[in-house]
Amino acid sequence: MRLLTLGGTEFAGRAVVEAALGRGWEVTVFHRGRHEAPKGARTLLGDRTAPDGLAALDEEPGEWDVVVDTWSAAPRAVRDAARLLRGRAGRYVYVSSCSVYTWAPPAGYTERAPVVEGARADAGPTDYARDKRGGELAAVDAFGADRSLLVRAGLLLGPYENVGRLPWWLERMARGGPVLAPGPRDLPLQYVDVRDLAEWILGAAQQGLSGPYNLMSPQGHTTMGGLLEACAEVTGGAAELRWTAPEVILGAGVEPWTQLPVWVPPGSEGHDALHSADVSRAVAAGLRCRPVTGTVADTWAWLKDIGGTAPRRPDRPAIGLDPEVEAKVLGATGEV
């Protein structure tokens, strides 16, 4: 198989490239040159947002079996690349997001749930959800419904994470001491290891799949306890998890999801939207998810390898809880 990735040097794109190389595929990575592409991939340089930014791609001879695109800003970039490649590639895989569903989708929502109005491809960036939906529409417009695959990913975790959710928890556990652990401990979580996402994408491309797929682990793949206990163990066991009721955390003004990454309180529309999707279609098409302990251990190994501090995307909100706020909440509950 011949693969072209648009991006491919960070997080999801990098995982796709490494998985394809591991399968013996011939891989070309089109990127801006800010980071090195994985060894073994052919590199083409260009900036999709610049005039003539696709020139290197346009001048490259040959064809590809599949294109994987992870773009998440104004959909113009997807439109232009997809139009350029529609006669030179067999299938266009656009890594979208479950954020494209009209907020807030109910627990158990499928790929048929209502979606937001997509941003216009000839306009500038709007918001994440509308831009992602606009990217989906641009891919389908160029490649048709039968040659485009829309991967509506949920929470992504694993090595190379540049958003900061799992790295923040690991860095916090490594500092040790009492840790504000948002309860309940058995709160079910739904996410996907970025490497499992990558393997599914490649398998789906080989099968010739098309259309939208919710792509995350089955509901209840792990729990908040399973995730945080794995983080505490892999970092050396110096952290003491202090499980705290949701109402106490919310009453202190702590923001779910951002200040306490991954966590969304039970019973909220946010939890149903982020941790309760129906993924039976993806599972039937081959999705397999590794245990949370493997995701946590491998992410910690990567963090140690790069010096203990994860890279953060500048276009994403700040992640994590200030130590003083954490101490104040724990003090108010007597958990210090």
Cα 103 to Cα 118: distance, rounded to the nearest angstrom = 14
pLDDT digits (tens, 9 = 90+) for 88-112: 999 999 999 999 999 999 999 999 9
Cα 230 to Cα 259: distance, rounded to the nearest angstrom = 20
312 pLDDT band, cuts 50/70/90, is confident
> Which of 193, 336, 182 has its CA nearest to residue 271?
182
pTM reported for the whole predicted model: 0.96
pLDDT at position 334? 56
Please, what is the average pLDDT of the chain? 95
Cα 336 to Cα 54: distance, rounded to the nearest angstrom = 56
Q: Are 27 and 40 in contact (CB under 8 A)?
A: yes
pLDDT digits (tens, 9 = 90+) for 106-161: 999 999 999 999 999 988 889 999 999 999 999 999 999 999 999 999 999 999 99
Cα 219 to Cα 226: distance, rounded to the nearest angstrom = 14
Cα 46 to Cα 43: distance, rounded to the nearest angstrom = 10
Cα 164 to Cα 259: distance, rounded to the nearest angstrom = 11
pLDDT at position 336? 43
pLDDT at position 32? 95
Write down the residue that tokens 């190389």 correspond to: 21
pLDDT digits (tens, 9 = 90+) for 177-228: 999 999 999 999 999 999 999 999 999 999 999 999 999 999 989 999 999 9
For residue 59, count CB atoms less than 10 angstroms from its CB and return exposed for 0-12, middle for 13-18, buried for 19 or more: exposed
pLDDT at position 63? 97
CA distance from start to end of the chain: 56
Question: Domain spans of the chain?
Answer: 2-153, 159-190+220-277+290-333
Provide the percentage of residues in the chain whose pLDDT is more than 70.
99
Q: What type of residue is 85?
A: L
335 pLDDT band, cuts 50/70/90, is low
Helix (H) or strand (E) run with residue 331 in it = helix 323-333
pLDDT at position 314? 80
More confident residue, 318 or 64: 64
Cα 161 to Cα 166: distance, rounded to the nearest angstrom = 8
327 pLDDT band, cuts 50/70/90, is very high
DSSP state string for 277-318: ---HHHHHTT-----HHHHHHHHHHHHHHTTS-----TTS--
DSSP state string for 225-252: HHHHHHHHHHTTS-EEEEEE-HHHHHHT
pLDDT at position 169? 98
Please check the confidence at residue 308 and state whether its pLDDT lies above 80.
no
Q: Which CATH architecture has domain 2-153?
A: 3-Layer(aba) Sandwich (3.40)
